[in-house]
Amino acid sequence: MTIYKKYRIPNIHFIITLTLIFGCAQLISGQKPPCTIRGIIYDNEGNTLPNASAYIKETFRGVSSDAKGKFSLSVNEGTHTLCIQMLGFRPLEQSVTVGNNEEKFLQIKLKPDNVKLDHVNVIGQSVVKQINKTAYNVVAIDAKQFHNNTTGVAQVLDKIAGVKIKEDGGVGSNTNVSINGFTGNHIKIFMDGVPMTGNGSTMQINKIPINMAERIEVYKGVVPIELGGDALGGAINIVTRKSDMSYVDASYSYGSFNTHKSYVSIGKTTKEGFIGQLDVFQNYSDNNYKVKTQLLNLETNRYSSEESWFRRFHDQYHNEGFMARAGVKDKSWTSRFMVEVNYNQEYNQIQNANLMKIAYGGRESKSKSIIPAVYYKKKDLGLENLDLSFTGKYSFVQTNNVDTVRGQYNWAGDFRYNSNLDSEYQRTLGEFNSKTGSYVTTLKYTLLNQHAFVLNNTTTSFSRENTDSEANSENSNESDFIKRRNIKNITGFSYEYKPSDKLNVSVFGKYYYVNTIGPMDADNSTSRTNFVEVEKDYSTSGYGLATTFHPFNKWQIKTSYEKTVRVPSQTELFGDEILETGNASLKPENSHNINLNFGYETSGENISFNAYAGLLYRYTYNYIRRLIGEKYGEGYYLNHGKVRTSGAELEINFFYKNLSLNSNFTYQDIRNIEKYDTPSDRATNNISIRYKDRMPNMPYMFSNVDLTYSLKNFLHEGNHLLLTYGFQFKYEFYKSWPSEGGDITIPTQTPHNFQIGYSIKNGRYNITCEAKNFTNELLLDNYSLQKPGRSYSVKLRYYLHK
């Protein structure tokens, strides 16, 4: 049986919002035009310097000089501090005063510096600061500072205030991000502004090499229109390396549990504007660390009451991939045009279910993905300050799941054959093909350097089919061969007003449309199923406001509000055919989010200090909660109801000469506000015993501390030594509902890490040694799944650029 509805995408919103852009532009076109600071940058010998960084210190708005050393910055009337930085030259600061409608032209000479600066890091730092100064509650991290480390993208995120990473195990395991109490699919992850949904398991945040990232942006709460997703509690945008330099970056690391990671990136940019880039990477690990858990007696089929230590024996993981890019820049028809092909493959042995005590010995999964993409950006599209960008990706992912062992394993590695069982969990040789398209278009018009209008449209499509019916026909579920499809279209419009460097206000609105086709059990009986194909349409709107204000020098205040919507993800709707069961009847979540943040920064000679504090409030309806089945340990999803989140976070950073201290603390109170469990309870005013309980499996108090000591020109000029000690604290939290007697908690965890790194010839040759969790703490996550204990690693890196 098939139920259909008429399918449509509301293109009328493109026309309406586009009309608003130019209509508003006409209304305020009579305002005063901005001033301009232009110039040419030379060295001591009179040679022009391309790719130098030029930015305004007060706003961190900046550009890079072109091939002829020229730059141009639009500013407001008044006095500004112009900063110029370039590899191998001393930084320059110059006070520039411009009058009403004045265009100031400068000729700037940079003096050589005996101690070369990292050019990429200098430019990146100004971009990072510029993002952090926006009205959004955002933290931008320069990923290049971690390129010498064995640290991955997920570990970098785990050090941010309000952010926690939940991992199911070691290398290649499933990873979820939590931001201010929202976790997993509540948080949207983007790569270069495009949703990573549909990239397959091979391209997740814990599998992407840190060297591939240029910076990482974490938005807590309100998300800019340019990231056109339906994030409920925040978003992460991984900005990949797009250097205009020619370079070679190669690294290899080896660590505990027979872990090997390698990465090579080669980039070339010609004077004619041709860009080529190739990234190749590989990860491998046996993941044979020890875990403490219960043991299944294969004779009695009962678990031991006591826990013992066992070594993982079926958890090998490896993945390989490459990303090739080619394109041009600075042409009459485009500012930047790139074509990309991304290929990845992985092999993953499945050691355990979502419950630690359930061990497997024969389950495995293989996956391959190919993702072609195109990027187009054009500045001044027929009109000055009208910019267009478009990104299109289409991913093909093939996944093969194997579960054919007739019997059971336990954690001791023992096996018992059982002819009554056809598998360890659910028999399959299934091959599933998924196709995902992501298309992001952004049109931005800036007027008088004070007004910005942004129109964004993001469309994603997903489909998955079981293409191996012969292998699965005997043992498959009747729902396996029902088509899964999800189409999502989000149109957003924002207006930003910035009358001065002290005030920035942004208002926005979004329109959501979703069409879903998938299986649903049409029979209410518990003894039988009758899966049918059902199609559903959903549309709604959201809106919000974000503002920042500098009341005094060195102080910043940010506040934001958003009424937002999140549509269930593909995994929540359709499962992953491995450990997750889908629920096509899930309702979209919606939430009211409020943030209030304060920042203070000061600096002097050889010293600087900054502190940031934030308050948050969330009230969520139809909250989608992930639960774990007690018998088989499978994950499944339900609409829970109402959840209220409030919290606070504090971050303090201190730098003195060669010493730096970075620390943060987060507390969040995540409560169940669903007063009644059923409609009949509401009628009889039977209040749920879980009412106002803390939500289970949610860390609510944690902190991070990093202490770093650096020595420049150590043992030789151009060589640098870096010592880092890291400490993490995560307070105990409930594994299940406290009021139901679920007093079992996931205990307090305090891992310690230490790292020593040495760079030779200004970063050309690098070696880093790291000890993670060197006190061998028992680390637990996601319903007590265990992460690796003490581990050691060493990374060698070669980096050359010009």
Average pLDDT of the residues in 420-430 = 85
Instruction: Tell me what pLDDT residue 572 has.
Output: 83
The answer to whether 39 touches 70, Cβ cutoff 8 Å, is yes
Within 8 A by CB and 6+ apart from 741, the residues are none
Kindly report the backbone phi and psi dihedral angles of residue 454, in degrees, each rounded to the nearest multiple of 5, phi listed first: -125, 130
Query: Is 31-117 in CATH node 2.40.160.20?
Result: no
Architecture of domain 239-801: Beta Barrel (2.40)
Question: Distance between CA atoms of 355 and 736, rounded to whole angstroms?
Answer: 13
Residue 24 to residue 448: CA distance in whole angstroms:
13
Model confidence at 478, pLDDT cuts 50, 70, 90, reads: low
Report d(CA 285, CA 299) in Å as an integer.
Answer: 33
Confidence category of residue 116, pLDDT binned at 50, 70, 90: very low
pTM of the model: 0.81
pLDDT for 119: 33
Q: pLDDT for 377-405, tens place per residue?
A: 999 998 888 999 999 999 999 999 899 99
> Is beta strand 484-500 parallel, antiparallel or unpaired with respect to 451-466?
antiparallel
* CA angle, 563 then 219 then 445, to 5°: 80
Tokens representing residue 447 in the block? 């007027």
Residue 479 pLDDT level (bands cut at 50, 70, 90) = low
Pairing assessment for the beta strands 555-566 and 589-604 based on DSSP bridges: antiparallel
pLDDT band for 468, please (50, 70, 90 cuts): low
Tell me the C-alpha to C-alpha distance, in Å, between residue 392 and each of 179, 373, 438. 28, 5, 6
Cα radius of gyration rounded to whole Å, the chain: 27
Q: Is the pLDDT of residue 480 over 80?
A: no
In this structure, what DSSP letter does residue 184 have? G
Q: What is the pLDDT of residue 561?
A: 94
Q: Are 273 and 332 in contact (CB under 8 A)?
A: no
Each residue's pLDDT tens digit, 139-173 = 888 888 899 998 889 889 988 888 888 888 999 99
30 has pLDDT over 60: no
Give tens-digit pLDDT for 685-710: 999 999 999 999 889 999 999 999 99
Q: pLDDT at position 22, please? A: 42
Q: What is the pLDDT of residue 528?
A: 57
**Domains 31-117 and 239-801 belong to one CATH topology:** no
Question: Which residue, chain included where needed, has tokens 């320069």?
Answer: 142
- Number of residues that this document lists for the chain: 802
Identify the band that residue 12 occupies on the pLDDT scale cut at 50, 70 and 90. very low
Burial of 548 (0-12, 13-18, 19+ CB in 10 A): buried
| Residue 380: closest CA among 302, 457, 443 | 443
Mean pLDDT along residues 780-784: 81
What is the per-residue pLDDT for 439?
94
pLDDT at 60 (0 to 100):
65
Q: Where are the domains of the chain?
A: 31-117, 239-801
pLDDT tens-digit readout, 275-299: 999 999 999 999 999 999 999 999 9
Query: What does the alpha-carbon distance between residue 278 and residue 293 come to, in Å, rounded to a whole number?
Result: 44
**Distance between the two ends of the chain, CA-based, in angstroms?**
64
Percent of the chain with pLDDT over 90: 49
Residue 682, Cβ neighbours under 10 Å: how many?
Answer: 12
DSSP one-letter code for 587: P
Determine which helix (DSSP H) or strand (DSSP E) holds 13, and give its type and residue range. helix 12-27
- For residues 322 and 342, give the distance between their C-alpha atoms in angstroms, rounded to a whole number: 6
Mean pLDDT of the chain, nearest integer: 85
**Burial classification of residue 93, based on how many CB atoms lie within 10 Å of its CB (0-12 exposed, 13-18 middle, 19 or more buried):** exposed
Strand order from edge to edge, sheet including 103-109: 70-75, 35-42, 103-109
pLDDT, position 87: 65
pLDDT of residue 427: 84
Distance separating alpha carbons of residues 467 and 395, to the nearest angstrom: 17
**Confidence class for position 28, pLDDT limits 50, 70, 90:** very low
Q: What is the predicted pLDDT for the residue at 31? A: 45
Q: What is the mean pLDDT of residues 116-138?
A: 59
Read off the pLDDT band of 24 (50, 70, 90). very low
Q: How far apart (Å, rounded) are the C-alpha atoms in residues 69 and 67?
A: 6
Distance CA(107)–CA(38), nearest Å, equals 9
Residue 85 contacts residue 120 (beta carbons within 8 Å): no
pLDDT at residue 115 greater than cutoff 70: no
- Which token pair is 522? 């049409």
Element of type H or E holding 392: strand 386-402
pLDDT in tens, 237-255: 999 988 777 899 999 999 9
Q: What is the pLDDT of residues 189-235, one digit of tens each?
A: 999 988 887 777 777 888 889 999 998 999 988 888 888 778 777 89
Provide the pLDDT for residue 137.
Answer: 86
Q: Which of the two residues, 568 and 265, has the higher pLDDT score?
A: 265
Q: What is the mean pLDDT of residues 102-112?
A: 87
Tens digit of pLDDT for each residue in 494-540?
999 988 888 999 999 999 998 888 776 666 555 556 677 778 888 89
Contact 222, 595 (CB under 8 A): yes
pLDDT at 743 over 70: no
Residue 610's CB is within 10 A of a number of other CB atoms, namely 15
Residue 638: other Cβ atoms inside 10 A:
14
**Whether 790 contacts 775, CB under 8 Å:** yes
Q: Which residues of 306-324 are buried (b: 16+ CB within 10 A; e: fewer)?
A: eeeebebbbbbbbbbbebe
- Residue 25 phi/psi, 5-degree rounding, is -60, -40
Residue 19 clears pLDDT 60, i.e. is over it: no
| More confident call, 750 vs 62 | 750
**pLDDT given at position 476:** 53
Tokens in use for 665?
A: 């603390």
CA–CA separation, 385 vs 66, rounded Å? Answer: 18
